Amino acid sequence: MSAARELFDQAGVLLRAHQLPSSHQDERPAGSDICLLVIHNISLPPAEFGGPQVPDFFLGRLDHSAHPYFDHLRGIRVSSHFFIRRGGELIQFVPCERRAWHAGQSQWRGRTRCNDFSIGIELEGTDDSGFTDAQYAELARLTRELQTRYPIEDIAGHSDIAPGRKTDPGLLFDWERYRALVARNE
């Protein structure tokens, strides 16, 4: 556990991540065990990368007049624990000990409300864009770090916990490559 103490503070803040605290979070229910990682993808506007819009969305300050697509996002309050940009930059919005609002209506292995027991990781991308080497490397590193602190039993895509409602991280997400990178421990 000492390795986990060096990586995270008591609230589950990963010390090496860029911190942008979101108010779109709350307490996990008492007795919630953090045992699931959920991998997502996001880009705002769709298929556009690198701008401030995803962080602004998670922080509740998205300028809805900046793009026609943003109008349907009015009033939506979502967040994720982590966001990995195309170049590998890691941003944390919600401490791991708190509940981020990333999964929505969801179910995994007979348990509903996946936000209660999961950590959400967003990759900057789309179902059709694929992901970068830097993103896979950072995702694998982050996964290993989370595994030092939490009893992660499963890793799933958003599409796995909300089938029929969500499709991310998409068919181009290379699960085999990701798992091999996590196992290599580089």
DSSP 14: B
Q: Mean pLDDT over all residues of the chain?
A: 96
In a domain, 64, yes or no: no
Q: Predicted confidence band at 185 (pLDDT cuts at 50, 70, 90)?
A: confident
pLDDT reported for residue 7: 96
Phi, psi of 144 (to 5 degrees): -60, -40
CA-based torsion, 41, 43, 47, 50: positive or negative: negative
Say how far apart CA 12 and CA 125 lie, in whole Å.
25
Q: Is 92 helix (H, G, I), strand (E, B) or coil?
A: strand
In a domain, 49, yes or no: no
**What value does the mean pLDDT take over residues 70-88?**
97
In a domain, 54, yes or no: no
> Which active-site residues does the annotation give?
122
Q: Which domain holds residue 135?
A: 2-43+76-184
**pTM, 2 dp:** 0.96
CA-based torsion, 69, 70, 75, 78: positive or negative: positive
In a domain, 59, yes or no: no
In a domain, 33, yes or no: yes
Helices and strands of the chain, counted as H and E runs: 5, 10
pLDDT tens column, 83-135: 999 999 999 999 999 999 999 999 999 999 999 999 999 999 999 999 999 99
Query: What is the count of structural domains for the chain?
Result: 1
In a domain, 32, yes or no: yes
In a domain, 93, yes or no: yes
Q: Is 117 helix (H, G, I), strand (E, B) or coil?
A: coil
Beta bridge partners of 120: 38
CATH of the domain at 137: 3.40.80.10
In a domain, 67, yes or no: no
Q: Apex CA 85: angle with CA 81 and CA 89, to 5°?
A: 85
Angle, helices 133-149/175-184, rounded to nearest 10 degrees? 60
Q: Predicted confidence band at 5 (pLDDT cuts at 50, 70, 90)?
A: low
**What value does the mean pLDDT take over residues 126-148?**
97
